[in-house]
Chains A and B, each alone.
Chain A
Amino acid sequence: MKAAALFLLFAGLPLAFAAFALLPPSPARIAFVFAALAVQLLGLILIFRAYFTHSDGHGMGGGQ
């Protein structure tokens, strides 16, 4: 879940970049940027879920 969350966060970035690099100012550009943020929001939700399932007092960093 951790890797999927990080991938989704990263995946939104090329979408946002492509909106400006490939599309002229138009509603389609706005839709692309919102789509990018939606993908990233999904990634954030997954991060929160992943954290929640590991929240047993030790986190993921592990104690020595």
Chain B
Amino acid sequence: MSTTDLIALAAALCLLVAPLSLAGLALMNAGFARSRAAAHAVLSALVATASAAIGFLVLGCAFFGAPSHHITVHGTPWGIIGSAHTFLRGVDFHSLNASLTAGFLLFAAALVAVIPLGTGTDRWRFYPMALSSALVAALPFAIFAHWIWGGGWLSQLGAIDAGGSSAIAAVGGLSALSITWLLGPRQGKYDDGGMALPGHNMVMVLFGCLLTLAGWIGLTATSALLFGSATPAAIPLIAANTLFGASAGLLATLWVTRSRYGKADASLCANGFLAGMVAVGASCHIIVPVEAAAIGLAIGVVLPFSVECLDRLGFDDPSGAITVFGLGGLWGTFAAGAVAQGHPAQWLVQLAVISALLGMVLPLTHLVHLLVNRFSPQRVSGDGEQTGMDMHELGAGAYPELQQVMKDQFHR
């Protein structure tokens, strides 16, 4: 077996566990939602996964794939957008590497679509969400993935993102920022002085974290093998670094919340775990465990303050996705440049990646959300929100017995 085949086989095995990250995020979103929107949260994750995969298949693959449309500056051609066939036509599915890349990107597009669902929980309608997911996968995600993984200008500069800190996490996190801006806060969150609206099941959230970790290790390993020039021998290091980053993030958040509030905050600790995991993704194959722990520790300390700051500014983000994936992804992207060895100006290239995320992904994602909103309002009606997304959009709740008890109490 040749080295190329061995790498492709290892990537294929890693890709098999990647869907666990989708399952984990779906479970977390359901836990962060209120009980009257729990079934809606999980079904939304399925719908977003399906829509994003279709969106990428129909259009995104064309904007990702080689050859690139170039612009030439001072005699150097810079790849700006892919010009492959739509519907994955032209992909040689007999080549393990080509079919793996296509399969990996479908999962990555699905993850990008699932990340903002936690932010829009309790108020984001199904159909516009499905359309937005498909368009985000087809446009901003595909174009940015081309830039950094598909031979575009960022990869020509030597940008590092082996595990998707920028192309998956930050794109999803910025999409979450855009959608919370568009949807506004949940009813009762800031009205009449405001109140905390905690998730209905913290066990789901914490178990979802563990599932996400398992899937994320598979995802980052696949990505590092396909796009980061890693070898199968690096897989244990990638797994260890991901775990160390997540662990340091969790412990740092645990310490900060305990110091500030007197007791550990379970939802923030879950977020710290994920943020640490996300942040080490970009450099997971080139750093040593101590560096992974340092990257996770830094975001774990900052996370509670960021979540609190966004909350005070009026950004209602029930799952904390803006901080976890947006800020965590941006930090991981920059940190990869700070720890990378051999290229003295790598940090500057990584800043260009951040600039590309803020300059292309955020505006384009927001335009997509605005466009969809124009045809079909993204936010549910006030009555629908009060009834609960489960009853309003699905006609049945996740916990029918609980609803019966509440109805009985209301009539008593």
Measured CB to CB, the nearest residue on chain A to B373 is: A61
What's the Cα separation between A54 and B379 when bound, in Å? 15
A64 touches B355 (CB 8 A): no
Tell which of B70-78, B160-168, B204-212 binds the partner.
B70-78
Among B74, B182, B345, B352, which residue has its beta carbon within 8 angstroms of that of A61? B182
The 0/1 profile, CB within 8 Å of A marked 1, for residues 367-382 of chain B is 1000001000111111
A63 touches B379 (CB 8 A): yes
B377 touches A62 (CB 8 A): yes
Measured CB to CB, the nearest residue on chain B to A11 is: B359
Measured CB to CB, the nearest residue on chain A to B376 is: A64
Among A12, A16, A43, A62, which residue has its beta carbon within 8 angstroms of that of B373? A62
Measured CB to CB, the nearest residue on chain B to A44 is: B358
What's the Cα separation between A27 and B230 when bound, in Å? 32
Set of chain B residues within 8 Å of A20, measured between Cβ atoms: 153, 157, 349, 352
Set of chain B residues within 8 Å of A59, measured between Cβ atoms: 180-185, 379
CB distance from B376 to the nearest CB of A (A): 9
CB distance from B161 to the nearest CB of A (A): 16
CB distance from B324 to the nearest CB of A (A): 18
What's the Cα separation between A21 and B70 when bound, in Å? 13
Q: Is B187's CB within 8 Å of the partner chain A?
A: yes
Among A29, A33, A51, A58, which residue has its beta carbon within 8 angstroms of that of B379? A58
Q: Is B302's CB within 8 Å of the partner chain A?
A: no
Within 8 A of B (CB), among A1-58: 6, 9-17, 19-22, 25, 29-30, 33-34, 36-37, 40, 43-44, 47-48, 50-52, 54-58
CB distance from B293 to the nearest CB of A (A): 27
CB distance from B374 to the nearest CB of A (A): 10
Measured CB to CB, the nearest residue on chain A to B382 is: A63
Q: Is B363's CB within 8 Å of the partner chain A?
A: yes
Set of chain A residues within 8 Å of B378, measured between Cβ atoms: 61
- Size of chain A's interface in residues, with CB distance under 8 A? 40
Given the interface pairs A10-B360, A40-B359, A55-B314, the reply to whether A61 lies near B351 with Cβ below 8 Å is no
Set of chain B residues within 8 Å of A11, measured between Cβ atoms: 359
A57 touches B377 (CB 8 A): no
A19 touches B352 (CB 8 A): yes
A57 touches B74 (CB 8 A): no
- Size of chain B's interface in residues, with CB distance under 8 A? 43
Q: Is B366's CB within 8 Å of the partner chain A?
A: yes
What's the Cα separation between A43 and B351 when bound, in Å? 16
What's the Cα separation between A48 and B183 when bound, in Å? 14
What's the Cα separation between A25 and B347 when bound, in Å? 13
When A and B form their complex, what is the total count of cross-chain residue pairs whose Cβ atoms lie within 8 Å?
Answer: 115
Set of chain A residues within 8 Å of B345, measured between Cβ atoms: 25
Q: Is B191's CB within 8 Å of the partner chain A?
A: yes
CB distance from B249 to the nearest CB of A (A): 24
Set of chain A residues within 8 Å of B157, measured between Cβ atoms: 20
Within 8 A of A (CB), among B50-81: 73-74, 76, 78
The 0/1 profile, CB within 8 Å of A marked 1, for residues 313-351 of chain B is 111000000000000000000000000000001001101
What's the Cα separation between A51 and B382 when bound, in Å? 20
B348 touches A29 (CB 8 A): yes
A54 touches B184 (CB 8 A): yes
What's the Cα separation between A57 and B314 when bound, in Å? 9
Set of chain B residues within 8 Å of A51, measured between Cβ atoms: 181, 313-315
CB distance from A20 to the nearest CB of B (A): 6
What's the Cα separation between A29 and B355 when bound, in Å? 14
List 14 A-B residue pairs with CB atoms under 8 Å apart, sorted by A's residue number: A10-B360, A13-B358, A14-B359, A20-B352, A33-B355, A36-B359, A40-B358, A51-B313, A51-B314, A55-B190, A56-B184, A57-B189, A63-B379, A64-B381
Residues of A within 8 A of B (CB): 6, 9-17, 19-22, 25, 29-30, 33-34, 36-37, 40, 43-44, 47-48, 50-52, 54-64
Told that A9-B359, A10-B363, A55-B185 touch, could you supply 19 new A-B pairs with CB distance under 8 A? A9-B358, A10-B359, A11-B359, A12-B358, A16-B356, A16-B359, A17-B78, A29-B348, A33-B355, A34-B351, A43-B358, A51-B313, A57-B190, A59-B180, A60-B181, A61-B184, A61-B377, A61-B379, A62-B377
